[in-house]
Protein backbone atom coordinates (compact mmCIF):
# COMPACT_ATOMS: atom_id res chain seq x y z
CA UNK A 1 0.00 0.00 0.00
CA UNK A 2 2.92 2.32 0.74
CA UNK A 3 4.07 2.24 -2.90
CA UNK A 4 0.62 3.27 -4.14
CA UNK A 5 0.47 6.14 -1.64
CA UNK A 6 4.02 7.22 -2.49
CA UNK A 7 3.08 7.24 -6.16
CA UNK A 8 0.12 9.53 -5.43
CA UNK A 9 2.26 11.83 -3.26
CA UNK A 10 4.81 12.02 -6.06
CA UNK A 11 2.09 12.91 -8.56
CA UNK A 12 0.92 15.75 -6.31
CA UNK A 13 4.49 16.94 -5.75
CA UNK A 14 5.13 17.06 -9.51
CA UNK A 15 1.85 18.89 -10.07
CA UNK A 16 2.94 21.58 -7.62
CA UNK A 17 6.32 21.83 -9.33
CA UNK A 18 4.80 21.84 -12.84
CA UNK A 19 6.87 18.75 -13.57
CA UNK A 20 5.88 15.91 -15.92
CA UNK A 21 4.46 12.85 -14.10
CA UNK A 22 6.36 10.23 -16.09
CA UNK A 23 8.38 7.09 -15.37
CA UNK A 24 11.74 8.83 -15.75
CA UNK A 25 10.90 11.63 -13.30
CA UNK A 26 9.29 9.23 -10.81
CA UNK A 27 12.37 7.02 -10.74
CA UNK A 28 14.71 9.98 -10.40
CA UNK A 29 12.63 11.36 -7.54
CA UNK A 30 12.54 8.01 -5.72
CA UNK A 31 16.07 6.73 -6.39
CA UNK A 32 18.13 9.85 -7.08
CA UNK A 33 21.42 9.22 -8.87
CA UNK A 34 20.85 5.45 -8.81
CA UNK A 35 18.12 6.01 -11.44
CA UNK A 36 20.55 6.12 -14.35
CA UNK A 37 19.52 5.50 -17.97
CA UNK A 38 20.11 1.74 -17.69
CA UNK A 39 17.92 1.45 -14.60
CA UNK A 40 15.16 3.54 -16.20
CA UNK A 41 15.33 1.47 -19.40
CA UNK A 42 15.12 -1.79 -17.44
CA UNK A 43 12.05 -0.63 -15.51
CA UNK A 44 10.33 0.65 -18.68
CA UNK A 45 11.20 -2.54 -20.56
CA UNK A 46 9.66 -4.72 -17.83
CA UNK A 47 6.54 -2.59 -17.35
CA UNK A 48 4.36 -4.09 -20.06
CA UNK A 49 0.92 -2.58 -20.70
CA UNK A 50 -1.01 -4.27 -23.51
CA UNK A 51 2.24 -6.05 -24.50
CA UNK A 52 4.02 -2.69 -25.00
CA UNK A 53 6.70 -1.33 -22.64
CA UNK A 54 6.13 2.03 -20.99
CA UNK A 55 8.05 4.96 -22.43
CA UNK A 56 10.14 6.94 -19.97
CA UNK A 57 8.85 10.38 -20.98
CA UNK A 58 5.17 9.55 -21.53
CA UNK A 59 2.86 11.35 -19.12
CA UNK A 60 1.07 8.92 -16.79
CA UNK A 61 -2.63 9.34 -15.95
CA UNK A 62 -4.03 9.57 -12.42
CA UNK A 63 -3.33 6.37 -10.46
CA UNK A 64 -6.82 6.39 -8.97
CA UNK A 65 -8.53 6.56 -12.38
CA UNK A 66 -6.22 4.50 -14.64
CA UNK A 67 -4.42 2.08 -12.33
CA UNK A 68 -3.14 -0.59 -14.74
CA UNK A 69 -0.14 1.37 -16.04
CA UNK A 70 0.82 2.20 -12.49
CA UNK A 71 0.42 -1.39 -11.32
CA UNK A 72 2.75 -2.56 -14.07
CA UNK A 73 5.20 0.25 -13.23
CA UNK A 74 5.26 -0.70 -9.53
CA UNK A 75 5.61 -4.36 -10.47
CA UNK A 76 8.59 -3.54 -12.70
CA UNK A 77 10.25 -1.35 -10.06
CA UNK A 78 9.97 -4.10 -7.43
CA UNK A 79 11.32 -6.75 -9.79
CA UNK A 80 14.30 -4.63 -10.88
CA UNK A 81 15.18 -3.51 -7.34
CA UNK A 82 14.91 -7.03 -5.90
CA UNK A 83 16.53 -8.69 -8.89
CA UNK A 84 13.66 -11.13 -9.35
CA UNK A 85 11.51 -12.07 -12.30
CA UNK A 86 8.75 -9.66 -13.23
CA UNK A 87 6.30 -12.56 -12.99
CA UNK A 88 7.25 -13.37 -9.38
CA UNK A 89 5.76 -10.10 -8.10
CA UNK A 90 2.37 -10.93 -6.59
CA UNK A 91 -0.37 -9.11 -8.51
CA UNK A 92 -3.07 -10.04 -6.01
CA UNK A 93 -1.18 -8.23 -3.28
CA UNK A 94 -0.60 -5.18 -5.50
CA UNK A 95 -4.30 -5.11 -6.38
CA UNK A 96 -5.35 -5.49 -2.73
CA UNK A 97 -3.00 -2.67 -1.71
CA UNK A 98 -4.48 -0.49 -4.47
CA UNK A 99 -7.99 -1.11 -3.12
CA UNK A 100 -6.86 0.00 0.35
CA UNK A 101 -4.92 3.04 -0.90
CA UNK A 102 -7.72 4.21 -3.22
CA UNK A 103 -11.02 3.00 -1.75
CA UNK A 104 -14.01 3.58 -3.98
CA UNK A 105 -11.93 4.33 -7.08
CA UNK A 106 -11.83 2.63 -10.48
CA UNK A 107 -11.40 -1.16 -10.20
CA UNK A 108 -7.90 -2.18 -11.19
CA UNK A 109 -8.93 -4.67 -13.88
CA UNK A 110 -11.51 -2.45 -15.58
CA UNK A 111 -9.53 -2.34 -18.84
CA UNK A 112 -9.19 -6.11 -18.86
CA UNK A 113 -12.95 -6.59 -18.33
CA UNK A 114 -13.82 -4.17 -21.13
CA UNK A 115 -11.39 -5.90 -23.48
CA UNK A 116 -12.91 -9.30 -22.67
CA UNK A 117 -16.44 -8.02 -23.38
CA UNK A 118 -15.41 -6.68 -26.79
CA UNK A 119 -14.01 -10.06 -27.87
Q: Is 26 helix (H, G, I), strand (E, B) or coil?
A: helix
Residue 115 — pLDDT band, cuts 50, 70, 90? very low
Which of 53 and 82 is assigned the larger pLDDT?
Answer: 82
Number of H helices, E strands in the chain: 6, 2
Q: Please write the tens of the pLDDT for every residue from 6-44.
A: 888 898 999 999 999 999 999 999 999 999 999 999 999
Which of 113 and 65 is assigned the larger pLDDT?
Answer: 65
Q: Which domain holds residue 20?
A: 2-118
Q: Total structural domains in the chain? A: 1
Residue 104 — pLDDT band, cuts 50, 70, 90? confident
Q: How far apart are CA 41 and CA 63, in angstroms?
A: 21
Judged against a pLDDT cut of 60, whether residue 45 lies above it is answered with: yes
Alpha carbon 99 to its chain centroid, in Å, reads: 15
Judged against a pLDDT cut of 90, whether residue 86 lies above it is answered with: no
Amino acid sequence: MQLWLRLERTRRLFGGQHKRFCVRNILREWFGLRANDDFIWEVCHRALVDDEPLAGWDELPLPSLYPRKHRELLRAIVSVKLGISYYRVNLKELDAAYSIAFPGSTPINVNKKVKMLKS
